[in-house]
């Protein structure tokens, strides 16, 4: 098994769990809720979808984002393009309150499908290549993928490989936030099983 096959093997169950497990039994108000000021499940799903879209499609293969190909920003009701790193509590609340939850699920699913298509088409042959600093600069600063409050990400990403970007933003980052969302579910009275 090569790295691309391993990625897809771990990615596919994660995508199903992010919505099926996290949304199960919750009302739309609960999906938007921020108990004790935590990020809402809606915000967390939006954030990991944006991170995966950018990580795979911009850093991984320097292609177009799903957000742009499907008119998802408008459909979701976004007023911003970034992935949310560095947002203030008020900004998290505003996004959580206003995002179209059904469209968000559609964007998450479309992003997951595109990720698998890209990984199966391209494989892992270029994963050892370092992402050029000018590409990082363009994505983080010029394209609005990251907010001005997330300036620290460009130096953090500098020197990272395409494989690291795909693996981190397409898998490990999502798994981490999946467990954040499970915590939110627990605080809403829906403990894990």
pLDDT of residue 12: 87
pLDDT digits (tens, 9 = 90+) for 15-27: 887 888 889 999 9
Alpha carbons 91 and 58: distance in angstroms, whole number:
24
Task: Give the model's confidence band at 71: pLDDT under 50 very low, under 70 low, under 90 confident, else very high.
Answer: very high
Alpha carbons 90 and 88: distance in angstroms, whole number:
5
Burial zone of 159 (CB within 10 Å; 0-12 exposed, 13-18 middle, 19+ buried): exposed
The three-class DSSP label of residue 181 is helix
Average pLDDT over the chain, rounded to whole? 94
**192, pLDDT greater than 80:** no
Average pLDDT rounded to a whole number, residues 123-135:
95
pTM greater than the 0.75 cutoff? yes
Average pLDDT rounded to a whole number, residues 74-101:
95
């Amino acid at each position: 098994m090569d790295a691309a096959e391993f990625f897809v093997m771990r990615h596919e169950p994660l995508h199903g769990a992010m919505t099926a497990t996290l949304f199960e039994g919750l009302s739309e108000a609960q999906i938007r809720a921020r108990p004790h000021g935590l990020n809402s499940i809606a915000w967390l799903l939006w954030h990991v979808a944006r991170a995966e879209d950018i990580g795979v499609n911009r850093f991984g293969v320097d292609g177009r984002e799903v957000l742009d190909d499907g008119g998802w920003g408008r459909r979701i009701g976004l007023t911003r393009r970034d992935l949310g790193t560095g947002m203030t509590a008020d900004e998290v609340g505003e996004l959580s309150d206003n995002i179209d939850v059904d469209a968000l699920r559609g964007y998450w699913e479309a992003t997951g499908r595109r990720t698998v298509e890209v990984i199966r088409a391209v494989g892992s042959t270029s994963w050892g290549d370092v992402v050029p600093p000018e590409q990082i600069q363009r994505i983080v600063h010029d394209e609005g993928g990251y907010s001005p409050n997330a300036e620290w990400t460009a130096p953090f990403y500098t020197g990272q490989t395409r494989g690291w970007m795909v693996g981190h933003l397409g898998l490990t980052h999502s798994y981490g936030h999946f467990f954040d969302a499970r915590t939110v579910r627990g605080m809403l009275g829906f403990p894990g099983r």
